[in-house]
Amino acid sequence: MAVTAGLAANQTHGMVCAHHHLYSALARGMPVPPRTPGSFLDILELVWWRLDRALDLDTIEWSAKLGALEALERGTTCIIDHHESPSAIEGSLEVITAACAEVGVRVNTCYGVTDRHPNTAGLGTAGSAVVGSGATGAVDSGGPGSVGSGSGGFDTAGPMTEGARRGLEENRRHLESGAAGMVGVHAAFTCTDETLAAAAELAAEFGVGVHIHVAEGAADRDAAARLAPLATEDWLIIHGVHLEDDHGLAGTLIHNPRSNMNNAVGYARPVRFANPTGLGTDGIGADMIDEFRVAYVRMREDDVTTSPDPAWRMLEVNQELFPESRNDVVTWNYEVMDPWRLAFTTGVSPLQITVDGETVMEHGQLTKVDAVEVRAKAAEAAQRLFKKLEKLT
């Protein structure tokens, strides 16, 4: 198996998280939302879209450091990240890349463009407006060809917004720097057709794919029809819960089983797709052995005849997406890193990690950063973030 090829029985190559949101690392303990979310769109509007508006470059840095540290402590050496911070777009991807490098983690990151913010000025302040934030407190799914029609929404046939343009420029800056990245898009249902086409064009210009949430919730059911003419094999199709079996999208699908359950969006049942399928966490840490276990038991619940092998194959697809992981070696505290054993074994942790020959963990302790100090400073940054959140509408 590629994950363990050429290594000792208690070793693997570096784990890869194929879809992360490092900016969410400080979210734990955040103030409760203005009201209890009653749907997936409510969760977006009342939790995550408020959090991303409150981020600044300082809190982005400590989110990334903490997220990278926690990833490495679980044997993950490579992260494919999807970032959004509409109040702090410029320079955000450079901050994330530098923070991960300081910890010793490779990162491929992108900025998730969206037309939710027609004007990004003052987004991190009380009273700032967001497209789709109507009296109902949720984005109306509208219908095909519209996003949030009524209640402050916008028509997907309309022009690209200033917020989306700035997001595309941040992707361009990052890719021009030579750093690892893709072109990020939040989701089709929050973007105009012009923005989606521009994102695809920018990705093609740099020879990279688009990293986009697709059909995670019911509001994005028409995503495949809008994206099929644009998508190419190097795209990352995140979630795909509400895609048809024969959806017609090129690219690699990334399954996020724990997040899908947490958001009650349904089961993607990824075995039904012809696309290669990798495994992500959608921001809930980066413990890929544990996520593999969750993917397996969710498959098993749906089909009692399945084995751990399809879920393990997702980890192998992850490695193909981030081939540098093959230069990394993780030595674990479990004697045989085999999917049939790991599916039923908890508490498996790394003891030693080398990244491209450099030791970044020895005897279970990180070597490049002081983990206690990073956690302490991240906790201070979280309190600053929470104070900003409390002032947002």
Spatial neighbors of 62 by CB under 8 A, at least 6 apart, are 25, 26, 99, 374, 377, 378, 380, 381, 382
Phi, psi of 103 (to 5 degrees): -75, -30
- In tens, the pLDDT along 240-249 reads 999 999 999 9
Per-residue pLDDT for 44 more than 70?
yes
Its pTM stands at 0.92
Q: Please, where are the H alpha helices in 90-161?
A: 92-103
pLDDT confidence tier of residue 183, bands split at 50, 70 and 90 = very high
- pLDDT the model gives residue 393: 67
The conformation of residue 220, written as its DSSP 8-state character, comes to G
> Measured on CA atoms in the order 78, 80, 82, 87, is the torsion positive or negative?
positive
Which residue has tokens 């079996």? 245
Report in angstroms the alpha-carbon separations of 299 from 168, 245, 287, 290, 339. 37, 16, 18, 14, 14
Contact 361, 352 (CB under 8 A): yes
CA neighbours within 13 Å on the CB side: how many for 140? 16
What is the share, in percent, of the chain residues with pLDDT greater than 90?
87
Per-residue pLDDT for 20 more than 60?
yes
Rounded to a whole number of angstroms, the CA Rg of the chain reads 20
Q: Give me the sheet containing 236-239, strands edge to edge.
A: 112-113, 183-187, 210-214, 236-239, 252-255, 277-279
- Centroid of chain to Cα 383: 23
- pLDDT the model gives residue 155: 76
Contact 1, 360 (CB under 8 A): no
Mean pLDDT score across all residues of the chain: 91
- Centroid of chain to Cα 384: 23
The CA distance from 7 to 319, in Å, is 15
Lowest mean pLDDT among 136-150, 227-241, 335-349: 136-150
Per-residue pLDDT for 148 more than 70?
no
Give the burial class of 320: count Cβ atoms within 10 A of its Cβ; 0-12 exposed, 13-18 middle, 19 or more buried. middle
Contact 77, 106 (CB under 8 A): yes
More confident of the two residues 114 and 121: 114
Superfamily (CATH) of domain 11-391: Metal-dependent hydrolases (3.20.20.140)
Report in angstroms the alpha-carbon separations of 82 from 25, 62, 154, 384. 13, 16, 24, 22
pLDDT confidence tier of residue 135, bands split at 50, 70 and 90 = very low
Report in angstroms the alpha-carbon separations of 353 from 70, 143, 315. 14, 49, 18
What would the mean pLDDT of 13-35 be, rounded to a whole number?
96
Per-residue pLDDT for 113 more than 80?
yes
- 192's tokens: 């105009």
> How many CB atoms are closer than 10 A to CB 165?
18
